[in-house]
Amino acid sequence: MGIVVKRQANAFIPTKIREGRTMQFQPLENASPLEIIYSGERLDLYTLGIFQLQMQDVIDKVTLGLLSQAGLIEPTWRRAKYLPRTAFPASDRFIRAEIRELGAGSLTEAVTFAVATVVADPNVIAILQDLAANVVWAIGVSGVRGIRNRLHRSPNDFRWFGRDDDPLEIGPNLRPILVALAENNQLRRAELRFKGRTRHGEEVEAEIIIEGGERPR
């Protein structure tokens, strides 16, 4: 399939990524960016840091899920069949999320993607064209409180491991984000929206409402 894999620490990682070389990336030029819009009180650095780190893990999980479901990396059949026990260090990631735009105000962010050159064969690139749309979809089915999901079906035909309830284990990443945002807003109402497009141009959107007066669950 164009990806060399080996099993290490209960996760299948491309062998060439483990060689200690400096990673080179190429942009996914035809992929839709992931748009993130936060409306609420001005963010402090601590909250912004939690948000960005947890979103990187979300993107990693969706990337691994897409490639596993497509048969391009081998599943481990443990922890949702594909997730490593710990987050990848930066040197091992084979998808890079890059901030293309960062707007003033509460937070407006556009994220584009680049894939490691060592795994960038046509099959991988084709699957990852819908990465942003799948991130939005995964957030929408995460089961966290306050979700308003405008994506009625998965952007692809995968069964997502036969699980309908948070199949990519996104909830554990979203909850720290929502708690940090609630505390940053001093328990006032806030909104967090995620937007993207499929390769066919279909708009997808998921919105999370953080109600004032209580911590998210």
| Assessment of whether the complete model's pTM goes beyond 0.85 | no
DSSP 168: T
Predicted confidence (pLDDT) per residue in 107-153, tens digit = 889 999 999 888 888 999 998 999 999 999 999 888 888 887 766 56
Strands 95-103 and 190-197: unpaired
In this structure, are residues 148 and 206 in contact, taking their beta carbons and an 8 Å threshold? yes
Q: φ and ψ at 4, to 5 degrees?
A: -95, 125
Backbone Cα Rg of the chain = 17
pLDDT for residue 82: 45
* CB-CB neighbours of 153 under 10 Å: 9
Among residues 64, 66, 31, which one has the least CA distance to residue 159? 66
Integer Cα distance of 121 and 136 in angstroms: 24
Predicted confidence (pLDDT) per residue in 169-217, tens digit = 899 999 999 999 999 888 788 999 999 998 888 898 999 998 765 555 5
For the chain, the structural domain boundaries read 24-210
Could you tell me the pLDDT band of residue 55, with boundaries at 50, 70 and 90?
very high
Q: Can you point out the beta strands (E) in the chain?
A: 5-8, 11-14, 25-27, 34-39, 95-103, 107-116, 147-149, 190-197, 203-210
